[in-house]
Structure formats: structure tokens, C-alpha cells
A and B are shown apart, each in its own frame.
Chain A
């Protein structure tokens, strides 16, 4: 079987399996999986910048929150329908990523991490500061009536699952296409050796900026979808924790692998879910498991799979 056929089969198989799970999962896991797919879409966006371009951003919560608040505020204060509000949310993620990229990409390494973190913190504080609009720390609920898109009630668990599935499928396929396209190869070249990439005639600043915009767009789409599907926008999604989480998900699943973000998100979500059912010190269990994984699978789960068995894995 050719590499392309294997890749199609694996990624198409995952998408088909997630659709099939819609019909068989018990209610609790069905709800979890919808949430995991939206968060995994966010991780897919993060992976473009971190996994493929090699830029360690600590500010992606800003893009997720931009999508979430772009969507939520458009519904809440501008009276927009969910379709237009969703588009505003996605555009907000893209625009803010573009603006942040222009400034942050003038730095590298630790400075880049700090600059992105500071911008995200500024965004978080702005949400708290403009509490009259955003309802600050409490956040706000998006009314059920505002979550009916093209006649489909997205507050219904079944519809919500399918919408999350559609979002994740689109993000996964876009990511797969992107990293196999010349643009994606250029990003990998930057990750591997930026100086050398410059010497081959590439404008690496422009490429990294484009990666930031694509990543911000996908992250913003995930944030907007989260608000739409789960009916809530809150400042906690703009906090530093939501910049660290996609990093953890991607590291665990395998940075620079298309499936890694999903695997990492799924693993981390259920690790915390299951361990919290055993003890209140569940973060201790989660921490030990994460340390073990880092020791024995430093390239993440899918990264190890690629290193050991599936060299063709994108």
C-alpha cells in the first residue's frame, strides 16, 4: 500500500470512527467526546505553530478567547445570528494572530515565549477590565435561541456532537493538507533549520507570520465553536492555563504529527477525568503519568509510533 493510501486510510478512518461513535457512545462519553473534538481542533491549530514551525507560543489562549468572545459578544451585544457571529469569531482569531505575529515574530526563543505570554495576559486582563461588556470573571451564557444555526439547534447533544465532529474533521483535513503542501514543507524546514531555509531563498518571517495566522484562525474557530456549542464564554478560557493546555496536548500526542493533537487531548482529558474519580489528588496521578510519558515517549504518542513503526506518518 502506498504512503498516500495509508495516510488517507488512517485519517479518514479516524474521522469515520468518530462519526460512528456518535451512534454508540453512552451519554456521558458522548458529551465528553464533543468537547474533546472542539479542544482537539484548538490543539490542531496550536500544532501548526509549535509542532510544524517550531515556535513555542505561550499566548494561544488569546486566539481561542478571541474566537469565543468574538462570537459571544456579537450575539450578546450586536444581536447577530450565530452564523455571522461564528464568522466574526473566526475572523477575530485570525486578525489578532496576524497583529500579534507582526510584533512577536521579531523575537525568537525565550523572548518569543514571553512576548506571546504577555499579549495573552493583556487579553485576559482586557476581558476582566471591560466587565460591563464581557461580565468579567463570571462570563456569560449564550441563550439557547441564539444557538440555532441554519435551523439546527446546537444545544441538542446530538447536533452538538455532529457540529464538533464537522469542525474537528475540517481542522484535521486542513492540517493534513497544509503540512503536505509546499507551504507546510517550508514550515518544517524552518523548524529544522531556519538559517538554512533563509539561505535557500525563503522569507521565513513571512512564512512564520502566515503560520501564525493559520493557527490563530483554527484556534479562533475552535473558541467560537466552543461558545456556540456549549453556550458559554468565560474569562478562564483566556487565562494562561488555556495557553499551556494545547502545548501539553500536542507534546503528549506528538508535536509535528497531524493526529498528535487529537490523541494528546483525548489522553489528557480522560487521564484527568478518570483520576479525579479515584482521588481528589488527581493532579498528582496525572503528573506522574505525564512524567513517565515524557521519559519513555519523549516525542509524544504518535511521534513514538512514527519513530518506531510508521515512518510515513505525517
Chain B
């Protein structure tokens, strides 16, 4: 579904990612783990076309999307929920979702589907995004990305700083998207959370791809994670 073929990327002359290859299948959650500054967020930004690739290709369903401008990458079917959520703070929940629905000709029932996943947003439907709690904002950011009916979804630390009930809600939605066949690339720092949700875990170290292991193997032998994360 989503494939990174030896991608290199960075900011200006500073190269961050070097020859990273990964693939995420439909209905799979691949968690990307690494220390701070390892290149996890850079990888997501490179997939979305927000920073230019220095080498390699990104493919979605076998078609190269890395040559496309960022807005066409989104239209091709890759949704991205960045750290910090990036909501349209002055707009209501409804307006945020409506904006999310326009570019991929989402069918009319997609809004109902999304609101069914996030009943809390239905209660806050006419409320301004900036007045939502942190967890609700994360829900809205995720819901808005889902309005695009993405084939692949990139989630950058979606549960960071959230209270346990919100973490559980986000986890349930992520699992529901997996069940619908969405390929999910998740950046997550907390090993316990990864073990609960991921199918496979890919490690990244100093911008280079490391081991890719099934989550069961990681559960049996946490020393792999300790080696990459230093914990």
C-alpha cells in the first residue's frame, strides 16, 4: 500500500534521512520508533511532500506520489495528522470537518462515519476548535484527516500529553481505521502503547532505517527497543 523506497530527505543542506525503506500494508499499523531527532517526523513530512526528497521514491498502491506537490499527495489518499494538531482554531468543529471533506470528493456519508467514530465531536459540533480540550482537539485533527477517506494515514504522536481516557479513545479509532483497511504509519514514543496497538515496529536511528520487527517479537524481547531508544 504505502512504500518508502530508499528515501533521503532533510532541510536545506542538512540531510536528516538517509536511504530509509519501509512498507505498510492495507489494514496494518506500522509504528516508527526512534530517539528524538532520529528523523521520524521528517519521514512523515517527506512522505507528504512538505519537504523535497533528496533521493528515493514514495509509492502509494504502486503509483509514485513523491513527484507530486503536497496537496496532490493528500488528494492521492495520504492523510496526515501532525504533532501540534494544526487545527483551524477560529473555525467550528463542523467547519473544520467540512474543509477536510472537500478535496477528495468524499461521499456524503463520510461525515456520519467520522462522527460515529468520535461521538464527542458531535456534542461539540458548533463549538470553536480553540475552545476544545487537548484530547478533543486531537480527535478533531484525526477526524478531519479521516474525512479525506485516506488509503494511508500518518499519525505523529497522536496521544502525546493526553489523559488516559482520551488516549484510549484515539487508540480505539486507530484500530477501527485499521479494521477498515487503512494503512497506518504511527510515530509513538511510549513502548507500552506501541505494544497494544502496532502490528510491526520499525526503528530509525540517526536518519537511517533499523530493524523492523513484529510487535510480538518486541513484546518478548524489549532489549531491541532499549538498543534504539536508550531506555
Report the number of A-B residue pairs with Cβ-Cβ less than 8 Å: 63
Contact with B along A172-212 (1 / 0, CB 8 A): 00000000001001101100110111111111100000000
The CA of A201 and the CA of B103, in the complex, are separated in Å by 6
**From A256, which residue of chain B is reached at the shortest CB distance?**
B90
- Are A193 and B87 in touch, CB under 8 angstroms? yes
Considering the complex, which residues of chain B in the window 179-193 have a beta carbon less than 8 Å from any beta carbon of chain A? Answer: none
Interface size counted on chain B using CB atoms at 8 A: 27
Is B89's CB within 8 Å of the partner chain A? yes
Contact B91 A199 (CB under 8 A): no
Which A residues are CB-close (under 8 A) to B88? 188-189, 192-193, 196
Instruction: Choose from A182, A195, A199 the contact partner of B102 (Cβ within 8 Å).
Output: A182
Mask of B72-102 contacts with A, CB within 8 angstroms, 1/0: 1011000010100011111100010011101
Q: A200-B99, A200-B144 are in contact. Are A188 and B74 (CB under 8 A)?
A: no
Bound state CA distance, A37 and B193, in angstroms?
Answer: 60
In the assembly, what is the distance between CA of A196 and CA of B144, in Å?
11
> Would you call B86 and A196 a contact (CB within 8 A)?
yes
In the complex, whether B148 has a CB less than 8 A from a CB of chain A is yes
**A192 CB contacts on chain B under 8 angstroms:** 87-91
Once the chains are docked, how many angstroms separate the CA of A197 from the CA of B74?
A: 10
B48 to A199, Cβ gap below 8 A?
Answer: yes
Q: Is B98 touching A199 in the complex (CB atoms < 8 A)? A: no
Contact between B71 and A202 (Cβ–Cβ < 8 Å)?
yes
Q: Is there a chain A Cβ closer than 8 Å to B116's Cβ?
A: no
Pick the residue among B48, B91, B102, B144 that contacts A188 (CB under 8 A). Answer: B91
B70 at the interface (CB under 8 A from A): yes
A280 to B95, CA, bound (A): 49
Residue on B with the closest CB to A203? B71
Closest to A182 in B: B102
Given A185-B99, A186-B99: A198 and B70 interface contact (C-beta under 8 Å): yes
Q: Given contacts A196-B86, A199-B71, A201-B72, could you give 6 more A-B pairs where the C-beta distance is less than 8 Å?
A: A182-B102, A186-B102, A188-B91, A200-B74, A201-B74, A202-B71
